[in-house]
Chain A
Amino acid sequence: MKGSANGMRALRGGASRYSIFALARNALSYHENWQKAWRSPEPKPEYDVIIVGGGGHGLATAYYLASVHGIRNIAVVEKGWVGGGNTGRNTTIIRSNYLWDESAGIYEHALKLWEGMSQELNFNVMFSQRGVLTLAHSEHELKEMRRRVEAIRLNGIDSEVMSPAQIKQLVPIIDTNPGIRYPVMGGFIQRRGGTARHDAVAWGYARAADDLGVDIIQNCEVTGILRDGGKVTGIETNRGTIKAKKVGVVTAGHSGVVASMAGLNLPIDSRPLQALVSEPIKPCIDTVVMSNAVHMYISQSDKGELVFGAGVDSYNSYSQRGSIPTVEGLLAAAVELYPIVSRLRVLRTWGGIVDTCPDASPIISKTPVDGLYFNCGWGTGGFKATPGSGHVFADLIARDEPNAIAAPFSLKRFETGYLIDEHGAAGVAH
């Protein structure tokens, strides 16, 4: 990639680099001389590109527009604070072991970018390739697993089948007793998968984009999308009108609302997705483990909290919280597979709003409005796509034409029927 930092050079825009030496040097001055990670500029009257939405995807888009495509007159406008939506609310699972070629394409593209992200951004996003293990609990699931594993293998992506004994060795706290309700009959692991520190992804992209001159404008809510004869001309915000040649919208959880400002009706359903963490305990599980049959997934954060997630709540909502029965179901599943968690305590529960398309695949697309682009519909699995999504969206905006990875995710597919149905393949989406 053009301009990628190799770990030793200075940041391109001149911001001082982070390193252990920088920490030591700053310790001498009592850490009073650190620069701002990013500026808080006033919006300019006009930009070449405005990205609506300061989450991971939006900030990554701005960063790649600047670093790969050389566009520097960019603003990212954010209703609240950067990374405050689903970027800061998800369970941080990263993997690329998808069934369909189109999905494998975008998520593997993302995974490769994750692998160099801390160095590229000079911000430790703590991408930790601790492996993502998916369990199978019945004959039927074993067969489904076989199908997925074969597809992943033939797509050239890493994947290993594991026996119950191997799973027990890797995850000692899992109950592999064959007599339980949903016995662990096998599983497959993507060792290159893992987790990352979600906030750091937003901050890292924000800092690197800002360094390249991108204006990150927080507390700036978009209230309208300005058009002239079928072409976008700017946005209306609570801080005034900002003109733009191109506008990219990346507002997960609110995509339908923003689309309606441009007279568009997206095929999207918005629903709460909940997650929770336990109190921090000493390390007891190193891998991310997902299970479709018992409907939950688990990992342990570096701080020691067990991180739990499950499926979406069953009603539509824009309120960023869910209902208690979902939590009860999730925790019953957790105790079933990991009996030791029963006496631990739930520390925090929260929800985010996920935008889901009818085929459970995202939209990365031009729209009927010239110069207006949408990147949305990532459902429950958008975090893992962050760098890949930003990278191909930047490409789409810069060239006004989708590349091979983005092309299948066009809005057009809902007219033509070329859907990428990940429902059957994903089970518990994540």
Chain B
Amino acid sequence: MSGQSFRIRDKGRIDRSKPVRFTFDGKSYEGFEGDTLASALIANGVHLIGRSFKYHRPRGILAAGSEEPNALIQLGGGNKSEPNLRATQIEIFDGLEAASQNRWPCLKFDVGAVNSVFHRLFPAGFYYKTFMWPASLWLKYEHVIRHAAGLGKAPPDRDPDRYEKVHAHADVLIVGGGPAGLAAALAAGKTGARVILADETADWGGSLLSESDCEIDGKEPARWVEESVAELEAMPEVTLVKRCTITGYYDHNYLTGLERVSDHLGAAPEHTPRQRLWKIRAKRVVLATGALERPLVFTDNDRPGVMLSSAVRTYVNRYGVLPGRKTVIFTNNDDAYRTALALEDAHGRVAAIVDVRTSVTGPLADAVRAKGITVYENHGIVSVQGTQKVTSVEVMQLDANGTGVTGTAKSVNCDLIAMSGGWNPTVHLFSQSKGKLTWDTEMAAFIPGTASQALASTGACNGTMGLADSLKEGLKLGAEAAREAGHKGRAPAAPKATEPEQGGLRPLWITPGKAKLGRKGKHFVDFQNDVTAADVQLAAREGYRSVEHLKRYTTTGMGTDQGKTSNVNALAILSDVLASDIPAVGTTTFRPPYTPATIGAYTGRNVGKLFEPVRKTRIDEWARANGAKFEHVGQWMRAWYFPKQGETFRQAIDREVKAVRDGCGILDASTLGKIDIQGPDAAEFLNRIYTNAWLKLGVGRCRYGLMLKEDGMVMDDGVTTCIGENHYHMTTTTGGAANVLSWLEEWHQTEWPDLKVFFSSVTEQWSVVAINGPKSRAVLQKLCEDVDFSAEAFPFMAMKEGTVAGIPARLYRISFTGELSFEINVPARYGLALWEALMEAGKEFDITPYGTETMHVLRAEKGFIIVGQETDGTVNPLDLGMDWIVSKKKPDFVGKRSLERESMASPDRKQLVGLLTEDPQTVLPEGGHVVEKLKPEPPMEMLGHVTSSYYSPNCGRSIAMALIKGGHARHGQTLHVPLEDKVVKVTVTEPRFFDLEGERIDG
């Protein structure tokens, strides 16, 4: 075959001046700009495109749009490769490389087709009945099954392309740019409403582009489309988005769309994303999504060369290609007669029309007969010859009720079967919106019933099949939607439209074959998943009678086409077996997305560095320059420790820890959560949220507080300071900041709305530097002249405002180390300047920067807890030995009632203790578990676990804290920590190890 020998000379909307070269399975072909991969392959006489999922049957092209179940290909190579794309939707570009999938070694000869030989062993759900013995072999069986399954392949590495998101609002969103959608957009647009019109394809006009036998206002339909689009483009409030599939319909008229911005170009131009995810909130939605043609279910209806009748017409009229030179039309309705006429018009021969209806009359039938085409009434196709392309069919007369055939078979040579089983309105989005579907007996299809959101359906998706009616309805509903969205205007007069008149259809859900169903040949219902009519009947026979059971048992409708061509046929066959009405059997739930949507588009720009951006302090830069190692804390990156040249982790930490206690250490504490609390009821609010008393805290005084959840367990802690009258500054843990703010808001908004109090996060507004150690006062005094630092004038747990290194600052005398300590808060942008000034001033005192690890060791020496380390949501203040912070006098606080429950007094509660290892050099691993009765091997009863464990250079030995059952009564006991490789003996102590009398706090 040479060149585009199936190209029709004078038809189609392709640009013949722009040839495009592409390859399929390594072979080079030519098409034209405007072709899809499917139309270009048809132009070149290529019909074998892929292999089916289960039986590896040869498959061709069934449809011309997004409902295509068969013609799936792998597009491109390397990291831009993409599996499972539908050839019917790919716009070709120069250099396009496509390959068939799910075949080995090649498409024409596929070893997997051996499944077809053993097909009788593989009915629906066969795998539930076998592979059970011996049990140990299941993973081996499964390995084989897994490798046989799957379709295309994932690309090998990172996606080089970029994706964007659009957040849009519309008065009226119109989905689908066919006749009804365009009409709705015109009417809504004229009112001045903000309209978005989206269509899944590259061209406006929808079905109109496939028709050659109708007129609108005396013009070719394509002309009307052009004029309408031009009119819409001139409206400033109307946005037209092509190549944009509306994929999801969520609550409150929120819809998503996937726009393929540059896929059709091969490579995205600079500054252009590959795809965009649209997120649209619309006041009103008009669905004009058209209808999908149903296949007929007959013997071997899956052969390459069996195509939907409307798709044949699309290929002829829109793309100017002939899917076959000699066609048999198989139909249950008049629409397929239009295909016969279109083929004749394009010099394709129609060998016969096989119609299941008993008597066919009307203008279309007359026109066809006038052309000399044989019409077999009350007949069906009983067999299809040709494995890799149709070569002929056998036709027989149907019996009285259509369940069998009579007479003798007539053979008709052909290379194309164009079939039509009627139309299914595309109700997917309507159904996603939670609208209720109703069964239309005349159409034998589901149409929209009661809506549950602010939407309207128009045109074919509403069951309005005639062109004139669709235009009229579209205009009416478009104007209505705009009015409902607050605009004024009436629907313009509908244009005059003519098209061939059509009669009714005969729903015949299974075309009987020569043998009983399932005995010879296969009647496919779901092409992609290889589900046959016999499978559906088997499932029903075995009791899988609910639609969902049918779907899940047979996998019908579970393919990448989501059953667009199979659902209603499967349902009808099921209802037949159940002797029940189709609407009584019901439909499955349509789930988003309407067509598969790229994961990268949902991700948008939230990839790599922009995926949850790292939070850094103003001092981060200095820490990096000075060799700090970092750790992740919540979303923050914090300096972990500052090793000097050649130091190990342990050496660096020991040095830092000693330096703080001997002289002065400096820590970047900016990540602590900070919440500004104001209002006349601020103190009352704090009094209810914290466990201790807050009503009498004076201005300039700080207090440590513990917050509990309703269940009485510790949630967060921190120091809160009274800054002024009705004004507090709360600090939280680094990781807990956002949770605490939400917590405060939740209690305020839902439980205590009467309290006048306001919360603002100020974490980012302040840089915080903590200097700790006996020399810290001396360092600070060098930089701050307006504050009296004497212990009397500036006691522990006080706050003063002053000027540090010329920067206005709040100085908090609080301590997380037990040392004399100041936390200096300055406006965030001065953080680095403050840090550098302190480093300079501290030089003579050997000031030592330290990170989170040293902070942890220092506080552990003192027995201070870290929420999230000593607590895990199951620890109450009493467990921590912090009874002193739980007020006995307050009438209530969050968690108070829970603290009174029976279990809280249980002697078996896990309580915080210290652990000292028998060998002082052994450092226990955090997370190790403590047992009393050691057993040679697990299982053994655990008392609890090690929460914190370090080597303490100030104590000259290892120290650890642990939560263990009845810990407070176990002081002095010897217990064991069994590790994978050894057992460590430990003695239980107080959870405090250094400066037990608290003598160091004033320096």
- A residues with a Cβ closer than 8 A to B are 7, 18-20, 22-24, 27, 30-32, 34-40, 80-84, 88, 101, 115-116, 118-119, 122-124, 126-130, 137-140, 143-151, 153-156, 173, 180-182, 197, 199-200, 203-204, 218, 278-284, 300, 302-304, 319, 321, 323-324, 327-328, 331-336, 339-350, 358-359, 415-419, 421, 423-425
Contacts and interface: CB of A to CB of B under 8 A. Distances in A.
Contact of B603 (A23, A101, A155, A342): A342
Contacts of A336: 607-608, 611
A419 B940 contact: no
Contact of A181 (B123, B256, B614): B614
List 5 tightest A-B contacts by C-beta distance, closest first. Answer: A304-B150, A146-B927, A147-B927, A417-B901, A342-B159
B543 A37 contact: yes
B242 interface: no
Interface in B593-625: 593, 596-600, 602-604, 606-609, 611-612, 614
A65 B571 CA distance: 36
Contact of B83 (A144, A173, A204, A344): A344
B154 A425 contact: no
Interface string B699-719: 000000000001111000000
Given A140-B631, A421-B872, 5 more contacts: A143-B926, A302-B149, A319-B251, A340-B157, A417-B902
Nearest to B942: A154
A139 B710 contact: no
Given A30-B519, A126-B127, A418-B903, A36 B543 contact: yes
A302 B146 contact: yes
Contacts of B560: 279-280, 345, 347
A30 B713 contact: no
A340 B606 CA distance: 15
A140 to B, nearest CB: 7
A129 B139 contact: yes
Given A339-B159, A346-B593, A18 B129 contact: yes
B521 to A, nearest CB: 13
B966 interface: no
Nearest to B518: A30
Interface string B56-97: 000000000000000000000001111110000000000000
B67 to A, nearest CB: 15
A345 B150 CA distance: 14
Contacts of B28: none
A140 B154 contact: no
B453 interface: no
A39 B874 CA distance: 47
Given A144-B927, A280-B560, A18 B159 contact: no
Contact of B593 (A31, A342, A349, A424): A349
Interface residues of B, number: 115
Contact of A155 (B138, B153, B599, B938): B938
A116 B978 CA distance: 32
21 contacts: A19-B132, A124-B132, A128-B138, A140-B633, A140-B868, A150-B928, A150-B979, A279-B152, A282-B154, A332-B603, A336-B611, A340-B158, A344-B154, A344-B598, A345-B596, A345-B598, A346-B602, A416-B902, A417-B898, A418-B906, A425-B872
B88 to A, nearest CB: 16
B229 to A, nearest CB: 29
A331 B713 CA distance: 34
A245 B614 CA distance: 60
Given A31-B534, A124-B128, A324 B248 contact: yes
Contacts of B604: 328, 332
What DSSP secondary structure best describes chain B's contact surface?
A: loop
B135 A116 contact: yes
B713 A283 contact: no
Given A34-B542, A283-B150, A419-B711, A343 B155 contact: yes
Interface string B129-155: 111111100110010011101111111
A327 B591 CA distance: 14
Contacts of A218: 546
Of A180, A218, A280, A342, the most chain B CB neighbours within 10 A belong to: A342
Given A81-B546, A358-B711, A419-B874, A146 B926 contact: yes
B552 A88 contact: yes
A359 B711 contact: yes
Interface in B496-534: 516, 518-519, 534
A138 B898 CA distance: 33
B926 A304 contact: no
Contact of B938 (A118, A154, A281, A333): A154
Contacts of B518: 30-32
Given A36-B541, A118-B138, A347 B599 contact: no
Interface in B355-379: none
Contacts of A349: 248, 591-593
A145 B146 CA distance: 31
A127 B138 contact: yes
A34 B546 contact: no
Contacts of B906: 418
Contact of B942 (A31, A81, A101, A129): A101
A96 to B, nearest CB: 13
A324 B542 contact: no
Nearest to A19: B130
Contact of B153 (A150, A282, A324, A335): A282
Given A280-B560, A281-B83, A342-B599, A122 B132 contact: yes
Contact of B120 (A27, A84, A204, A342): A27
B929 interface: yes
Interface string B894-930: 0000100111101000000000000000000111110
Contacts of A347: 560, 562, 593, 596
A153 B935 CA distance: 13
Nearest to A122: B132
A147 B926 contact: yes
Contacts of A150: 927-929, 945, 979
B349 interface: no
Contacts of B600: 335, 342-343
Contact of B548 (A38, A84, A116, A424): A84
Given A143-B927, A154-B939, A417-B903, A283 B130 contact: no
B274 to A, nearest CB: 9
Nearest to B535: A31
Of B159, B552, B906, B980, the most chain A CB neighbours within 10 A belong to: B552
Nearest to B940: A154
Nearest to B904: A417
B251 A323 contact: yes
B156 interface: yes
Contacts of A116: 135
Given A139-B632, A327-B602, A118 B135 contact: yes
B538 interface: yes
B599 A343 contact: yes
A335 B599 contact: yes
A283 B591 CA distance: 25
A119 B121 CA distance: 21
B487 interface: no
Nearest to B543: A36
Nearest to B900: A417
B553 interface: yes
Contacts of B53: 280
A345 B83 CA distance: 9
B927 A40 contact: no
Contacts of B157: 339-340
Nearest to B274: A343
Of A37, A197, A417, the most chain B CB neighbours within 10 A belong to: A417
A416 B939 contact: no
B631 to A, nearest CB: 5
Contacts of B548: 80-81, 84, 88
B603 A328 contact: yes
Contacts of B928: 146, 150
B19 to A, nearest CB: 28
